[in-house]
A and B are shown apart, each in its own frame.
Chain A
């Protein structure tokens, strides 16, 4: 006979309400922990994908769309910019370096980016096998693109027109794989890198089946780029360059930091709402503990009186009730954390299988510990009032009323 025998046998005697309350608490904790995981992942990835890029210059259109399409490869580009105009801009004294980017095709859903080796260097890419694509129609695969497609060095791969997987294959223009990159945890893992010349070569002649493409080619006979990824020379550039580009050219400048802040603000509202819902769930669970314990005290007046008769002090009884709530709170917290970890693992697997993106589990952060502590404190508080009732129980009166 120990304190735990006493607590556990009591919980086992009426298990349903206990289970319900533990589940409620666990769901609240799991929800908040999962959101904080997604938040960490998303901001972590975004920071990595944006790192070192001060400005993106692309065709006129929505700045947010420019960032999404050129840095995260999630949306379609706003439009192209003439290569000549881009070259002129690159010479601006406020600019330290530019990375050109020509989009248009994909390989099994992975975007083919016509760019320079500076793009690979920028994201810290290292060659796992082979070497950089030097000549036109050579290609380097990001780690995910290589893993999913199963392509090897020397293989010929064929791009499809457009930015999502399609049947419209450029079979006349196969690329030769010259290198495969190591995983970087950035957008680089999910793309195919080739010299800009390759993209120009593939699209030199308009697609005869696509009248829009034919007309577009007639109107834009010169070579084009999709975007320029710009790094400033000095902070002064932030004040002057975007205005200069937006006013005096056919191009549009978008600041990644600004657009992502706007995006997270928009999404943040949703995740804050869910977090608030999670806190409410935890609050309800604590209230559930309170109701359960308080009702249980009525059912257990006899047990408590009997224990006092058998020599238990008021403090022992108080401790018993509080321990019971803390045990439920602890179980709920553990279960909630396990659920959150399971979700992280499940989400990682799902996102990798379906979207070819890595979303590694981030475990439980220091911030999450506070949520668990909050749950435990609420469990403790919920037990105080019932415990005080039990503490104050007048034994003779209880005994004579019950017998």
Chain B
């Protein structure tokens, strides 16, 4: 369960986002909509424990992310939070399978090869396994990132503009995959996007106004 209380996110004393209250149960989905500069990324970084909130708190499974020490937070993020970016998801010097196993390795978890294969099958990237990260397309890289994010069976998956660089077909496919995979594992899915093609129903939708 993810609970957000009275959250003010931003840099230094510059408030970018205000989010009074939000609760998401496992398996639920949430869409954060807003134009560029409306603070979607700032909000996601705060939820990921990368950015300290100016006020309020973020509770994941009852634990306040920002009351922990930095290394504890790194560990919780590695184990319980999956993140997929718009671009630059992969480490170029590694192969696809190494990129997928990287998250589990860095967060000190079991590198489950069977799970990796299942996820690659589901995401349609099984034949890319040994390819170098520099060798695959943007859309494929994003699927690799999704597989990696799900490797640790996280309780929360954050996707920052996951569809903006994809064509209509890939956009729909990626969304469907994200939703179904999160559904299967009871992972809370939060997508931030300004993409008007995303019209599916979400359990919650937050509209951010442009404040910057």
Residues of A within 8 A of B148 (CB): 310
Cα-based distance from A246 to B94 in the complex (angstroms):
79
Cα-based distance from A12 to B93 in the complex (angstroms):
8
A1 near B50 with CB under 8 A, answer no
Is B87 an interface position by the 8 A CB rule? yes
Chain A window 12-39, contacts with chain B (Cβ cutoff 8 Å), 1 for yes, 0 for no: 1100000000000000000000000000
Given A303-B91, A314-B71; A309-B102 close (CB under 8 Å): no
Is A10 an interface position by the 8 A CB rule? yes
**Residue among A13, A399, A400 making CB contact with B93, cutoff 8 Å:** A13
Residues of A within 8 A of B83 (CB): 309-310
Is A261 an interface position by the 8 A CB rule? no
Report which residue of B86, B95, B103, B104 has the largest number of chain A beta carbons within 10 angstroms of its beta carbon. B103
Chain B window 152-164, contacts with chain A (Cβ cutoff 8 Å), 1 for yes, 0 for no: 1000000000000
For window 369-403 of A, CB contacts with B under 8 Å fall at 395-396, 399-400, 402-403
B93 near A309 with CB under 8 A, answer no
Is A234 an interface position by the 8 A CB rule? no
Using CB atoms, name the residue of chain A closest to B76.
A311
| Stretch from B21-29, B105-113, B182-190, B198-206 at the A interface | B105-113
User: What's the least CB distance linking A18 to chain B, in Å?
Assistant: 12
Is B33 an interface position by the 8 A CB rule? no
**Residue among B11, B94, B106 making CB contact with A316, cutoff 8 Å:** B106
Is A118 an interface position by the 8 A CB rule? no
Report which residue of A13, A315, A396 has the largest number of chain B beta carbons within 10 angstroms of its beta carbon. A396
A311 near B77 with CB under 8 A, answer yes
B106 near A311 with CB under 8 A, answer yes
User: What's the least CB distance linking A259 to chain B, in Å?
Assistant: 61
Main secondary structure of the interface of A (DSSP, over half): helix
Residues of B within 8 A of A298 (CB): none
A1 near B98 with CB under 8 A, answer yes
User: What's the least CB distance linking A162 to chain B, in Å?
Assistant: 68
User: What's the least CB distance linking B206 to chain A, in Å?
Assistant: 20
Residues of A within 8 A of B88 (CB): 302, 306, 402-403
Residues of A within 8 A of B95 (CB): 9
For window 69-90 of B, CB contacts with A under 8 Å fall at 70-71, 74-75, 77-79, 83, 85-90
Report which residue of B42, B50, B104 has the largest number of chain A beta carbons within 10 angstroms of its beta carbon. B50
Report which residue of A5, A6, A399 has the largest number of chain B beta carbons within 10 angstroms of its beta carbon. A399
Is B32 an interface position by the 8 A CB rule? no
Given A311-B79, A313-B71, A313-B75; A306-B50 close (CB under 8 Å): no
Interface size on B, residues (CB 8 A): 38
Residues of B within 8 A of A314 (CB): 70-71, 74
Cα-based distance from A12 to B132 in the complex (angstroms):
12
Chain A window 298-338, contacts with chain B (Cβ cutoff 8 Å), 1 for yes, 0 for no: 00001100111111111110000000000000000000000
Given A308-B74, A311-B103, A402-B88; A9-B98 close (CB under 8 Å): yes
Given A9-B94, A399-B45; A312-B86 close (CB under 8 Å): no
Cα-based distance from A1 to B148 in the complex (angstroms):
13
Report which residue of A9, A306, A307, A314 has the largest number of chain B beta carbons within 10 angstroms of its beta carbon. A306
Report which residue of A10, A307, A315 has the largest number of chain B beta carbons within 10 angstroms of its beta carbon. A307
Residues of A within 8 A of B75 (CB): 311, 313
User: What's the least CB distance linking B120 to chain A, in Å?
Assistant: 15
Residues of A within 8 A of B90 (CB): 306
**Residue among A12, A315, A402 making CB contact with B71, cutoff 8 Å:** A315
**Residue among A303, A310, A316, A396 making CB contact with B45, cutoff 8 Å:** A396
Is B18 an interface position by the 8 A CB rule? no
**Residue among A307, A399, A400, A402 making CB contact with B106, cutoff 8 Å:** A307
**Residue among B11, B86, B93, B102 making CB contact with A310, cutoff 8 Å:** B102
Question: Told that A311-B152, A314-B71 touch, could you supply 14 new A-B pairs with CB distance under 8 A?
Answer: A1-B98, A2-B105, A5-B98, A9-B93, A12-B93, A13-B93, A306-B91, A310-B102, A310-B106, A311-B79, A314-B74, A396-B42, A396-B45, A400-B41
Give 10 A-B contacts (CB < 8 Å), ordered by A residue: A5-B94, A9-B94, A9-B98, A10-B93, A306-B91, A310-B106, A311-B74, A311-B75, A399-B50, A400-B41
Top 4 closest pairs, chain A to chain B, by CB: A311-B78, A311-B107, A13-B93, A1-B101
Binding site for A on B (CB under 8 A): 11, 41-42, 45, 48, 50-51, 70-71, 74-75, 77-79, 83, 85-95, 98, 101-108, 111, 148, 152
